[in-house]
Homo-oligomer: A and B are copies of this chain.
Amino acid sequence: MCTRNSQVRVMENTVTNAEKYFGQFCSLLAAYTRKTARLRDKADQLVKQLIDFANTENPEMRATVRNFAEDLAKVQDYRQAEVERLETKVIHPMKLYGAHIKQTRAEIKKFKQVQKNEIKQLEKLEKLRQKSPSDRQMISQAETSVQRASVDASRTTHQLEEMIDTFQKQKLKDLQKILSDFVTIEMVFHAKAVEVYSSAFQSLDSYDLERDLEDFRAKTHGVYGHHDARPLKDTTPSPTVPWSLAGQSTQTAIQSQRGEEESTDHSAEEDPVEDLTGQGQTPHPEGQSSPV
């Protein structure tokens, strides 16, 4: 009886622990995914503003800002894929795991009832033996009940042993799988971002300030009558990448949250810079200098 109690206790601890931590992991990973979605939303807004701005600029800067905006949008598409994959391959399995834990808990409860029944039958037999030691028939019946309850309990103990083993194995396997999927999803996203930003950097680097200023001077001097701007045929914007459509069909649950966020964001806009670091560090010294 004692060993069985210990075994139930080990099992209960294992399940309680798993329930506690997996529950926390699940909600933290969901929050992490939500924050990622909000980061994507902010970047999407920035993309829109950049494109509006690009349209007010001369061809050279227009193309540069537009390319940058398109690259930034591309990264957000990858971020959107990251969000979806985190939902499907990390959060969803975590939730399924929660259901699995509940089921296991029900099994343990059933086992405990079988165990209780054994004790009950034993107590009944003990009572009978003390109260009516001569009632052979009653005692014999009670002994049979005890025996039956014992067989039940013993069988369930074996089942429990197996269940503990299966539960633990499943838990460890699931956890490894979920963490590996998390890492893979993040790794793929970051790798894609590196790729896109590398190309964005190239594009920014090739921006020709002097050419842009020539255009600008031609325009402002044009005010006085001499139009000497270079021909506009050079300035056709780069072929439109369908980035603005890319995210649309895929944004499911997250899209509905977008509206709410915007209204709350404004209040936070004026947060002091230190708030952002959340840790009160002083910024990097090399970053202190003002722009050229």
Q: Is the CB of B17 within 8 A of A56?
A: yes
Bound-state CA distance A264–B180 (Å) is 11
User: Does A281 sit at the interface, judged by CB under 8 A?
Assistant: yes
Binds B, one of A81-89, A127-135, A136-144, A232-240: A81-89
From 87 to 132 in chain A, residues with beta carbon under 8 angstroms from any chain B beta carbon are 87-89, 91-93, 96-97
Q: Within 8 Å CB of A186, what residues of B?
A: 75, 193, 197
User: Does A228 sit at the interface, judged by CB under 8 A?
Assistant: no
Contacts A3-B223, A7-B220, A276-B192; is A291 near B97 (CB within 8 Å)?
Answer: yes
From 208 to 225 in chain A, residues with beta carbon under 8 angstroms from any chain B beta carbon are 209, 212-213, 216-217, 219-220, 223-225
Contact partner of A250 (CB less than 8 A), chosen from B24, B29, B174, B281, is B281
Quick one: which of A88, A223, A279 has the most chain B CB within 10 A?
A: A279
Q: Within 8 Å CB of A37, what residues of B?
A: 275-278
Q: Is the CB of B27 within 8 A of A184?
A: no
From 118 to 177 in chain A, residues with beta carbon under 8 angstroms from any chain B beta carbon are 161, 164-165, 168-170, 172-177
Shortest A65–chain B CB gap in Å is 7
Shortest A173–chain B CB gap in Å is 6
Shortest A237–chain B CB gap in Å is 16
Number of copies: 2
Q: Within 8 Å CB of A25, what residues of B?
A: 46, 49-50, 53
User: Does A256 sit at the interface, judged by CB under 8 A?
Assistant: no
Contact partner of A213 (CB less than 8 A), chosen from B46, B169, B198, B271, is B169
Q: Is the CB of A61 within 8 A of B31?
A: no
Residue of B nearest to A224 (CB): B3
User: Does A229 sit at the interface, judged by CB under 8 A?
Assistant: no
Could you tell me which A residues sit within 8 Å of B by CB distance? 3, 6-7, 10, 17, 21, 24-25, 27-43, 45-46, 49-50, 52-53, 56, 61, 64-65, 68, 75, 77-78, 80-85, 87-89, 91-93, 96-97, 161, 164-165, 168-170, 172-180, 183-184, 186-194, 197-198, 200-201, 204-205, 207, 209, 212-213, 216-217, 219-220, 223-225, 246-250, 264-265, 267-269, 271, 273, 275-281, 283-284, 287-288, 290-292
